[in-house]
């Protein structure tokens, strides 16, 4: 269970980072590129993913 939650947290953090980069315009070719919404939501999603991964890391098996 711990490994599954850790992987989910990492995936969520990676998606949040991707969304942020698209929002900032660093990754192009998407309707999300250069959009303020994703510039704000991306880092929030990434932090949530980091929180989930950190929680899973601290769980005892």
How far apart CA 30 and CA 3 sit, in angstroms, is 32
Domain residues for 34? Answer: 2-58
How high is the pLDDT of residue 39? 94
Tokens read off for 33: 């590129």
What does pLDDT average to over the chain? 94
How high is the pLDDT of residue 30? 85
- State the DSSP code for 26: S
pLDDT tens-digit series, residues 20-42: 999 999 988 888 889 899 999 99
Find the DSSP H helices in the chain: 2-24, 36-58
Domain count, the chain: 1
Rg (CA), the chain: 13
> Is the Cβ–Cβ distance between 12 and 31 less than 8 Å?
no
Give the confidence band of 61 by pLDDT, cuts at 50, 70, 90: low
pLDDT tens-digit series, residues 39-54: 999 999 999 999 999 9
């Amino acid at each position: 269970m711990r490994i599954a939650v850790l992987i989910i947290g990492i995936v969520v953090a990676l998606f949040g980072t991707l969304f942020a980069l698209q929002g900032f315009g660093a990754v192009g070719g998407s309707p999300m590129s250069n959009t303020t919404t994703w510039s704000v939501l991306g880092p929030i999603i990434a932090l949530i993913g980091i929180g989930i991964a950190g929680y899973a890391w601290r769980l005892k098996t």
